[in-house]
Amino acid sequence: MRPRAFTYHAPSSIAEVIDILEQHGAEARVLAGGQSLVPVMKLRLASPKHIVDITRVPALDLIRGDDGALLVGALATHEAIENSALVQAHCPVLAEAASHIADPIVRNRGTIGGNLCHADPAADFPLAAIALGAELIAAGRASSRAIPIDRFFAGFLTTALKPDEILTALRIPKPPPHSGGAHLKLSRRSNGLAIVGAAVMLAMDDDGNCTDVRVALAGMGPMPIRAAAAERALRGNRITQAVIVDAAALAPRQTDPPSDVHGSAEYRRTIAPVIVGRALKLAAERAGALL
């Protein structure tokens, strides 16, 4: 399997990256870790004429605190995120999602920015980013802008990034006290993509009432989505096993799961409440709920 020929660019600054993207428009693709793009090019599902390798742009892989929030550079690898003490302290669900991606060799090279921009509806990082309410920082010619994660995914393998913009970082707000998160997925192999996946973040008040919750689903439509009905069933209510089971049952509402070789739509609708229920229970326990 050999990709079609392309011109290789290795710019060393964001300004140069934007120049090349502006010049070549839709014929250019950004290459980071390459763990999604290279296989897609080998299968000739994509044959970009220009490859813009951004890994020589310095400092795009940094993970650092930023006024109470956490900034995760787009080139931070899955492995770096999985093992980052900062990530584990600030938003362990992101490290947990990282540890569930593919295998240790892929995690050495794959990047969070690449994973988000590939926008695979079965991928793991988009779920954690949605659950955490992240903002994505996109750099363009004139300036940077922050895109709320809820507006980032625009369809199957499609994002809100403009052709001459690149993702430079995620900004993750500090989760409130008494909050917990979890990422879980069902896949055929431990290294595989999710048939159905879920990430949740849940916050409680001192009495154990749910003050905020975000539930993100993979494998339930053309892009990662929030389970709004399940969230509504939890918000404001005291977190109990029964409330979690009732909320999880609503997870397939307003979803449009595919039928494919990995499972039928009906199977995914059946499995989603199970995965969401387990993720909610785990998150509630981590938030300190006594179930």
Is residue 211 within the footprint of another protein (CB under 8 A)? Answer: no
Which of 11, 16, 19, 34 binds another protein (CB under 8 A)? It is: 34
Nearer to another protein, 32 or 215 (CB): 32
CB of 80 to another protein, least distance (A): 10
Which of 26, 59, 105, 146 binds another protein (CB under 8 A)? It is: 105
Nearer to another protein, 107 or 214 (CB): 107
Which of 5, 45, 85, 261 binds another protein (CB under 8 A)? It is: 5
* Cα 163 from chain centre: 20
3-state helix, strand, coil in the chain (%, to 5): 35, 25, 40
**Residue 175 gets which letter from DSSP?**
P
Spatial distance between the Cα atoms of 198 and 217, rounded to a whole number of angstroms: 5
Q: Which residues, other chains included, contact 143 with Cβ-Cβ below 8 Å and sequence gap of 6+?
A: none
CB of 5 to another protein, least distance (A): 5
Which of 7, 144, 241, 259 binds another protein (CB under 8 A)? It is: 7
Is residue 31 within the footprint of another protein (CB under 8 A)? Answer: yes
Token pair, residue 170, equals 């995620």
Which of 11, 16, 27, 38 binds another protein (CB under 8 A)? It is: 38
Which of 12, 13, 23, 108 binds another protein (CB under 8 A)? It is: 108
Spatial distance between the Cα atoms of 34 and 114, rounded to a whole number of angstroms: 8
Is residue 191 within the footprint of another protein (CB under 8 A)? Answer: yes
3-class secondary structure, 194:
coil
**Residue 32 gets which letter from DSSP?**
S
Q: What is the CB neighbour count within 10 angstroms for residue 177?
A: 11
Residues 46-65 that bind another protein (CB under 8 A): 51, 53, 55
Is residue 6 within the footprint of another protein (CB under 8 A)? Answer: yes
Spatial distance between the Cα atoms of 238 and 206, rounded to a whole number of angstroms: 11
Is residue 85 within the footprint of another protein (CB under 8 A)? Answer: no
CB of 86 to another protein, least distance (A): 19
Please, are residues 91 and 172 in contact by the beta-carbon 8 Å criterion? yes
Torsion of Cα atoms, 162 then 165 then 166 then 168, to 10°: -120
CB of 251 to another protein, least distance (A): 29
Is residue 188 within the footprint of another protein (CB under 8 A)? Answer: no
- Rounded to a whole number of angstroms, the CA Rg of the chain reads 19
Is residue 102 within the footprint of another protein (CB under 8 A)? Answer: yes
Q: List contacts with another protein (CB under 8 A).
A: 1-8, 10, 31, 34-35, 38-39, 42, 51, 53, 55, 79, 102-106, 108-109, 190-191
